[in-house]
């Protein structure tokens, strides 16, 4: 529901790269290609994890959650980006902008928590291997997944609702590819210091705290891996953990840059391209990291493709 402020616009204009119209078609092609890769890669991980019984483990349960999240995350913003880049109309309805704001923030915060959960899974697998199946039982896995999704939703309800109360005084030009909190704060015509403080506080909690937990858990993991007698065993453990760490640094690096810099003082061009990075590039790269570096996923894909050829 729109605020009572009569000066609040019925729609917004997402500028994107409209200041450089010669780049719009280039961005359209690159983003469309990235989006198609994101759909194919994440759907492949979800299907393989479901169809191959050897991947019915906690690790792939959480990886399927991450892929589902990435699919929703990118779909909440990319189709609108493509529409705006394809033609002269750059508008997004008020309802569409609000929905994008809530969903994008919900899924982003959920990924912060889910990456912590995945690091806990790796910690138990490497440091407590004999108790892994007992600790990471299906009930706990579902509970951790629910906590991640519910925690992200709670963050979105607080931040998005608080941001939407800002007076915009008729301003409707969003200098970004999508509606997100830092871009919306820039539209405000009043004092935004409280909003920036809340944004920084909540984002610090959802980035610094989870990232610290992940790094501490990997210190224990590294110590445990170095004690493994078999060189092959050490290599397998490091490869599995390295995939997760690459995803962690890609996601948290861009999120920290995009959300923890002061909303009104940061460079807008840099900000919008960082938004593009974590809304388009990261969801595309995640499945590539996990499939290209993971023998189990590649083996499952070969088995499924082999069955497909036998059936045909």
Q: Which of 30-44, 164-178, 192-206 has the highest average model confidence (pLDDT)? A: 30-44
Looking at residue 38, its pLDDT comes to 92
To which residue do tokens 């917004």 refer? 12
Give the per-residue pLDDT at 263. 47
**CB under 8 A, 24+ apart: contacts of 195-200:** 195/162, 195/163, 195/166, 195/263, 196/262, 196/263, 196/264, 198/159, 198/162, 199/159, 199/163, 199/259, 199/263, 200/260, 200/262
Least confident of 18-27, 61-70, 116-125, 258-267: 258-267
Q: Is 271 exposed, middle or buried (0-12, 13-18, 19+ CB in 10 A)?
A: buried
Q: Give the highest mean pLDDT range of 14-28, 105-119, 228-242, 291-305.
A: 105-119
Q: Is the pLDDT of residue 3 over 50?
A: no
pLDDT value, residue 147: 95
Decide if pLDDT at 301 tops 80: no
Cβ neighbourhood burial of 23 (10 Å; 0-12, 13-18, 19+): middle
Task: Answer yes or no: is pLDDT of 1 > 70.
Answer: no
Q: 59 with 144: CB under 8 angstroms?
A: no
Residue, of 143 and 289, whose pLDDT is higher: 143
pLDDT band per the 50, 70, 90 thresholds, residue 170: low
- Give the mean pLDDT of 281-288: 84
pLDDT at 8: 58
Per the prediction, the chain carries an average pLDDT of 81
Report the pLDDT averaged over residues 64-90. Answer: 89
Specify the CATH number of the domain 11-311. Answer: 1.20.1070.10
Percent of the chain exceeding pLDDT 70 equals: 88
Domain boundaries, the chain: 11-311
């Amino acid at each position: 529901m729109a605020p009572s402020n009569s000066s609040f616009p019925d729609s917004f204009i997402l500028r994107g790269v409209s200041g450089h119209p010669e780049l719009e078609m280039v961005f359209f092609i690159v983003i469309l290609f990235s989006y198609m890769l994101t759909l194919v890669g994440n759907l492949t991980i979800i299907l393989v994890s479901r169809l191959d019984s050897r991947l019915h483990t906690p690790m792939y349960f959480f990886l399927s959650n991450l892929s589902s999240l990435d699919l929703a995350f990118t779909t909440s913003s990319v189709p609108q980006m493509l529409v705006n880049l394809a033609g002269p109309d750059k508008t997004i309805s008020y309802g569409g902008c609000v929905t994008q704001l809530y969903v994008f923030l919900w899924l982003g915060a959920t990924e912060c928590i889910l990456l912590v959960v995945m690091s806990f899974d790796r910690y138990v697998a490497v440091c407590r291997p004999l108790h892994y199946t007992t600790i990471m039982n299906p009930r706990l896995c579902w509970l951790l997944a629910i906590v991640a999704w519910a925690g992200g939703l709670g963050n979105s309800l607080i931040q998005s609702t608080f941001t939407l109360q800002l007076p915009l005084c008729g301003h409707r030009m969003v200098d970004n590819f999508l509606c997100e909190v830092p871009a919306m704060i820039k539209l405000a015509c009043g004092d935004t210091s409280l909003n920036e403080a809340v944004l920084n506080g909540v984002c610090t909690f959802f980035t610094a705290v989870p990232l610290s937990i992940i790094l501490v858990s990997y210190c224990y993991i590294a110590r445990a891996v170095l004690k493994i007698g078999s060189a092959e065993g050490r290599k397998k453990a490091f490869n599995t953990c390295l995939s997760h760490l690459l995803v962690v640094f890609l996601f948290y690096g861009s999120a920290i840059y995009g959300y923890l810099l002061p909303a009104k003082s940061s460079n807008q061009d840099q900000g919008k391209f960082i938004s593009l990075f974590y809304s388009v590039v990261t969801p595309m790269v995640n499945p590539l990291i996990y499939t290209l570096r993971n023998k189990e996923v590649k083996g499952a894909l070969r088995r499924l493709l082999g069955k497909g050829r036998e059936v045909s």
